[in-house]
């Protein structure tokens, strides 16, 4: 989830809390002690590039992450979709995408360009910035494109665990957010919501059943720092009883990543290598043990919430 402008400022090493008056104890529902510290270690941006896909797969296999989300319109979607279909045991969310932010590396929508003209710039690709989407998008076309992304993922055989939003675009206006909620309900998928960003008047209190938003704490690195390990250690120290999520951006600092993310140090090639190094390192795994933190996935969350809905 790469964020810009005012949305980014809300995520700079910030803990976000959900607005909810009747939230169930998700730890207890998932078979843990009611005061357990649960953590979704979540990797964003799968599908962007081979390097991102491979680093994320390696992190899953290493046990360093418990969740991920895929950008369906991106050029390397087919690779990660094939792996996801073969490995439903891992957690595959959808990073719903309405922007294309890299300098030279671009994509358009899943829906036909003639069906979503308001979402594409003069070059026929998605806009770089969230504000441009807000200023140009026709709501019917936003829903059409998001629905097309979900359908493409399902047709590819991905066992989708949840939905979230690339660059926070679907949290930019109440109308965008309403589409997000609608599709989460329609497809019976939990939606990740940055509660502090969403006013209660947008309908947070109406989210219930299989898409009930359970996070107690959402944290993400927001800027380059001198000591990567210390910053993530500090994040780990912020984990509270309940359901927490830390968002990471994985990749290898190789020629592909350097070309894709040229002139983009934030969330760029070196950044992604540092994130990968942390979540696959022994220090992080020891930190989990020392803090008695349990890694869980959005798939487990969905199963627990669906069980409520069936009762």
pLDDT in tens, 256-272: 999 999 999 899 999 99
- How do residues 230-244 score in pLDDT, each as one tens digit? 999 999 999 999 999
Q: Would you state the torsion angle of the CA atoms of residues 181, 187, 188, 190, taken in this order, to the nearest 10 degrees? A: -50
- Using a cut of 0.85, tell me whether the model's pTM lies above it: yes
Burial of 135 (0-12, 13-18, 19+ CB in 10 A): exposed
Q: Are 53 and 77 in contact (CB under 8 A)?
A: no
- How do residues 140-173 score in pLDDT, each as one tens digit? 999 999 999 999 999 999 999 999 999 999 999 9
Q: How far apart are alpha carbons 192 and 96 in whole angstroms?
A: 11
Worst-scoring range by mean pLDDT, 8-22, 23-37, 235-249? 8-22
- Specify the residue for token string 């979503």: 116
Burial of 81 (0-12, 13-18, 19+ CB in 10 A): buried
Token pair recorded at residue 42: 């979540």
Q: How far apart are alpha carbons 156 and 177 in whole angstroms?
A: 26
CATH of 5-310 given 3.90.1150.10, 3.20.20.370, 3.40.50.300, 3.40.50.2300:
3.20.20.370
What are residue 295's phi and psi, to 5 degrees?
Answer: -75, 130
Q: Are 237 and 293 in contact (CB under 8 A)?
A: no
Token pair recorded at residue 198: 């969403």
Q: Which residues pair with 249 in a beta bridge?
A: 44
Q: Where are the domains of the chain?
A: 5-310
Q: What is the pLDDT of residue 12?
A: 28
Q: Are 190 and 121 in contact (CB under 8 A)?
A: no
CA dihedral (101, 106, 109, 113) positive or negative: positive
Q: What is the pLDDT of residue 213?
A: 60
3-state SS assignment for residue 84: helix
- How do residues 56-112 score in pLDDT, each as one tens digit? 999 999 999 999 999 999 999 999 999 999 999 999 999 999 999 999 999 999 999
Q: Where are the extended beta strands (E) located within 78-224? A: 92-96, 160-165, 217-220
Q: What is the mean pLDDT of residues 208-230?
A: 80
């Amino acid at each position: 989830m790469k964020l810009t402008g005012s949305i980014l400022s809300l995520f700079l090493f910030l803990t976000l809390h959900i607005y909810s008056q009747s939230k169930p104890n998700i730890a207890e529902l998932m078979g843990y002690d009611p005061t357990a510290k649960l953590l979704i270690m979540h990797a964003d941006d799968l599908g962007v590039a081979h390097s991102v896909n491979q680093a994320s797969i390696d992190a899953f296999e290493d046990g360093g992450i418990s969740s991920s989300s895929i950008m369906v319109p991106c050029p390397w979607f087919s690779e990660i979709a094939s792996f996801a279909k073969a490995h439903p045991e891992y957690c595959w969310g959808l990073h719903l995408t309405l922007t294309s932010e890299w300098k030279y590396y671009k994509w358009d929508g899943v829906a036909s360009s003639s069906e979503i003209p308001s979402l594409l710039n003069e070059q026929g690709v998605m806009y770089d910035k969230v504000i441009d989407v807000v200023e140009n998008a026709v709501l019917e076309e936003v829903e059409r494109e998001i629905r097309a992304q979900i359908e493409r993922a399902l047709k590819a055989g991905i066992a989708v665990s949840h939905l979230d939003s690339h660059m926070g675009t679907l949290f930019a206006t109440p109308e965008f957010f309403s589409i997000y909620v609608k599709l989460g309900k329609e497809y019976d998928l939990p939606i990740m919501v940055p509660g502090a960003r969403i006013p209660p008047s947008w309908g947070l209190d109406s989210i219930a059943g299989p898409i009930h938003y359970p996070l107690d704490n959402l944290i993400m690195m927001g800027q380059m720092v001198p000591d990567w390990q210390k910053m993530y250690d500090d994040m780990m120290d912020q984990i509270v009883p309940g359901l927490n999520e830390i968002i990471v951006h994985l990749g290898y600092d190789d020629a592909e990543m350097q070309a894709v993310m040229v002139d983009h140090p934030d969330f760029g090639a070196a950044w992604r290598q540092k994130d990968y190094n942390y979540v696959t390192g022994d220090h992080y795994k020891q930190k989990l043990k020392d803090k008695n933190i349990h890694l869980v996935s959005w798939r487990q969350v969905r199963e627990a919430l669906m069980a409520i809905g069936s009762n």
